[in-house]
């Protein structure tokens, strides 16, 4: 079945550091890929998405490129801020697509 694997955290970075959170997936077809962010005490918010190979999703300085050849969708940001501290989830949807398969989440802590 479909699955998502993302790097385990927690990840601790200093402000203005470069961020990469790795995400790889297994799917039988051509899934849509998503990154969701969960701030402390809140629900999940869609951060960015890509629906086909080589698409790049971007939002709030975060980027991720859909790489079919490596089945990856790594999240990157050039300069993190303290306000980026949150849990990040990689997810995919396939077929009808209204339900998501999530990775286990990566906790990010950015220190001043």
Partner 1 sequence: NAGVTQTPKFQVLKTGQSMTLQCAQDMNHEYMSWYRQDPGMGLRLIHYSVGAGITDQGEVPNGYNVSRSTTEDFPLRLLSAAPSQTSVYFCASSRLARDHYEQYFGPGTRLTVT
> Which residues contribute to the site for partner 1 (CB under 8 A)?
4, 32, 36, 42-46, 49, 51-52, 89, 93, 96-100, 102-105
User: Which of 4, 64 has the CB closer to partner 1?
Assistant: 4
Give least dist CB 41 to partner 1, A. 9
User: Which of 17, 24 has the CB closer to partner 1?
Assistant: 24
Give least dist CB 7 to partner 1, A. 13
Strands (E) located in 1-112: 3-6, 11-14, 19-21, 23-26, 32-38, 44-50, 56-59, 62-65, 75-77, 86-93, 101-102, 106-111
User: Which of 48, 80 has the CB closer to partner 1?
Assistant: 48
Residues 6+ apart with CB under 8 A from 98: none
Give least dist CB 69 to partner 1, A. 21
For 77, which DSSP code?
A: E
């Amino acid at each position: 079945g479909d699955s998502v694997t993302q790097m385990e955290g927690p990840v601790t970075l200093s402000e203005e550091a470069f961020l990469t959170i790795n995400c790889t997936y297994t799917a039988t077809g051509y899934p849509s890929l998503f990154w969701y962010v969960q701030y402390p005490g809140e629900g999940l918010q869609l951060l960015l998405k890509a629906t086909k190979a080589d698409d790049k999703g971007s939002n709030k300085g975060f980027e991720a490129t859909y790489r079919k050849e490596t089945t990856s969708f790594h999240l990157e940001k050039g300069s993190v801020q303290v306000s980026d501290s949150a849990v990040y989830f990689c997810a995919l949807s396939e077929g009808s697509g209204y339900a998501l398969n999530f990775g286990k989440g990566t906790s990010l802590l950015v220190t001043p």
